[in-house]
Amino acid sequence: MNEALDDTAQRLIENAFADIEPENLVDYHLHTLSLGTGLKAICGKSGSTNAYVNPARFEWTTPIWKIKASVIISAARIRDRAKADEQ
């Protein structure tokens, strides 16, 4: 990546990390999952989250995708896909 960055971008990144000791640098990130089933139970809003999930993720015609989706849904403790966003 560094080879593709121009000097301005490289300086920006260097400055962003200048005061951070390498041993204190930790990557925190979050994976989210929404099947577009709505969030009424959590935030009182009805309707969809407008999330889109390719239907092929749940079909055996794409077995790798189906298995990955099943693992994610299981790990998120979703028991009813119709209420996925609430759960």
**Structural domain spans, the chain:** 2-83
81 vs 40: CA distance, rounded Å: 15
- pTM of the complete model: 0.51
The stretch 11-40 carries a mean pLDDT of: 83
pLDDT at 46: 54
What value, to the nearest 5°, has the Cα angle with vertex 85 and ends 67 and 49?
A: 110
Burial 69-83 (b: 16+ CB within 10 A, else e): beeebeeeebeeeee
> In this predicted structure, which of 17-21, 37-41, 55-59, 62-66 has the lowest mean pLDDT?
37-41
pLDDT at 67: 93
CB 53 within 8 A of CB 36: yes
Residues 42-77 pLDDT 10s? 555 555 566 777 888 889 999 999 999 899 889 889
The stretch 27-46 carries a mean pLDDT of: 69
39 pLDDT more than 80 = no
Cα dist from 4 to 11, 12, 14, 16, whole Å: 13, 14, 15, 18
48 vs 57: CA distance, rounded Å: 19
